């Protein structure tokens, strides 16, 4: 769907621009000086580099996203361990019994207690 336009009015502006001569060197120099002054005024000084401290662990923490990310990963790991050791049946019920079925029947803690009783350790 093409539309026809009347570009005669626009063409007159383009012809006037083509016919205009080059701006004077004085005008170009003033515009460039003004631009340099504006660019220099808004530039902030470069921040001082931070001193490097720490070793490989600081590099690892930086790669993970800094200390907030390391603390979050640590909290998630500890919470997973605590939940896994204190309430394995609860975790197994949340998974729909998948831990029990995939482990061949030895996937939760109560069975370990039963094994100890059978061996006479308790």
pTM over 0.75: no
Give the CA distances from residue 88 to residues 95, 98, 107, in Å, rounded to whole numbers and listed in that order.
Answer: 11, 12, 9
HSE toward the beta carbon, residue 84, CA cutoff 13 A: 8
**What percent of the chain shows pLDDT beyond 70?**
71
HSE toward the beta carbon, residue 62, CA cutoff 13 A: 8
pLDDT at residue 67 tops 80: yes
Return the pLDDT at 25.
92
Return the pLDDT at 113.
54
45 DSSP assignment: P
Q: Bigger pLDDT: 64 or 4? A: 64
pLDDT tens figures, 15-63: 888 877 888 899 999 999 998 888 876 667 777 777 767 788 888 888 8
Q: Per-residue confidence at 106, pLDDT binned at 50, 70, 90?
A: low
Q: Per the structure block, which two tokens stand in for 19?
A: 């016919």
């Amino acid at each position: 769907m093409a539309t026809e336009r009347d570009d005669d009015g626009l063409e007159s502006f383009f012809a006037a621009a083509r016919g205009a001569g080059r701006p004077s060197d004085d005008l170009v120099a003033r515009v460039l000086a003004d631009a340099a002054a504006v660019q220099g005024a808004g530039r902030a000084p470069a921040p001082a580099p931070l001193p490097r401290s720490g070793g490989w662990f600081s590099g690892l923490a930086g790669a993970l996203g800094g200390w907030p990310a390391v603390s979050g990963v640590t909290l998630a790991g500890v919470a997973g361990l605590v939940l896994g050791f204190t309430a394995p049946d609860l975790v197994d019920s949340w998974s729909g019994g998948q831990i029990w079925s995939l482990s061949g029947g030895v996937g939760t803690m109560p069975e370990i207690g039963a094994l100890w009783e059978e061996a006479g350790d308790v």
